[in-house]
């Protein structure tokens, strides 16, 4: 009889323990209700839970990759500025420059040199981040927790119902949200991984 009671209690405890899916949904809801303009209108649509592995889902790696993409966009803008300044220098240079021409050339040259310094500094930073990411990608994947993609509906302050989506990273026991990203960030990150994969295939 005692054995039956113990077994029954064990079954009851297992039945009462929330599944990782339920725990994730609860944590996500608690987090979103703190951020939404009209939390009472929150309506979950879908939550997809999966395993998370470093380096691919490590917050430090993801955020560093996003930083690399952002800085690369800055680099392209600086290159455009550099080309414009170089073009202006060519326009105003020559053996028969007027006083106006000399001043315009001086300004273009100053802009070129200042922009070139920014390009050099940013190039060094991009190379450093790229090397760090490359080093991380050489490591064997390590299980670090669970990740979830959550879609939901909620009203904004104009009472328009919007469909939103976010990605969440949890610890191994799904008791804490370690990090979260919006859809735009993850789309950018996925494009980065796709680009890295294509580069790797070309090298091979």
Among the listed residues 198, 199, 164, the one whose alpha carbon sits nearest the alpha carbon of residue 184: 164
CB atoms within 10 A of CB 78: 18
b/e code 17-54 from CB counts within 10 Å (16+ = b): eeeeeebbbebbbeebeeebeeeeebeeeebebeebeb
Cα separation, 47 vs 20, in Å, equals: 11
Q: What tens digit of pLDDT does each residue of 116-137 get?
A: 999 999 999 999 999 999 999 9
H or E, element range at 38: none
pTM of the model: 0.82
The answer to whether residue 32 scores a pLDDT higher than 80 is yes
Q: How do strand 177-182 and strand 43-54 relate by DSSP bridges? A: unpaired
> C-alpha distances in angstroms, 134 versus 72, 128, 138, 148?
16, 10, 7, 25
Dihedral sign, CA of 35, 37, 40, 46?
negative
DSSP assignment string, 124-154:
HHHHHHHHHHHHHHTSPPEEEEEEEEEEEEE
Among the listed residues 89, 125, 124, the one whose alpha carbon sits nearest the alpha carbon of residue 105: 89
Domain limits, the chain: 19-56+143-203, 62-137
Q: How confident is the model at residue 149 (pLDDT cuts 50, 70, 90)?
A: very high
The answer to whether residue 10 scores a pLDDT higher than 90 is no
Q: What tens digit of pLDDT does each residue of 40-92 get?
A: 999 999 999 999 999 999 999 999 999 999 999 999 999 999 999 999 999 88
């Amino acid at each position: 009889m005692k054995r039956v009671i113990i077994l029954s209690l064990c079954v009851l405890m297992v039945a009462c323990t929330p599944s990782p899916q339920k725990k994730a949904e609860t944590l996500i809801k608690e987090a979103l209700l703190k951020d939404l303009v009209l939390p009472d209108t929150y309506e979950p649509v879908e939550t997809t839970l999966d395993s998370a592995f470093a380096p691919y889902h490590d917050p430090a790696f993801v955020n560093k990759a996003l930083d690399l993409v952002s800085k690369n966009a800055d680099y392209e803008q600086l290159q455009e500025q550099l080309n414009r300044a170089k073009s202006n220098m060519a326009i105003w240079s020559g053996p028969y420059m007027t006083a106006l021409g000399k001043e315009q050339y001086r300004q273009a040259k100053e802009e070129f040199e200042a922009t070139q310094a920014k390009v050099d500094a940013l190039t060094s930073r991009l190379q450093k981040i790229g090397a760090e990411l490359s080093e991380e990608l050489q490591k064997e994947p390590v299980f670090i927790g669970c990740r979830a993609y959550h879609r939901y509906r909620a009203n904004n302050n104009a009472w328009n119902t919007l469909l939103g989506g976010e990605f969440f990273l949890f610890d191994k026991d799904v008791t804490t949200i370690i990090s979260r990203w919006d859809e735009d960030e993850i789309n950018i990150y996925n494009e980065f991984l796709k680009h890295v994969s294509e580069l790797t295939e070309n090298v091979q």
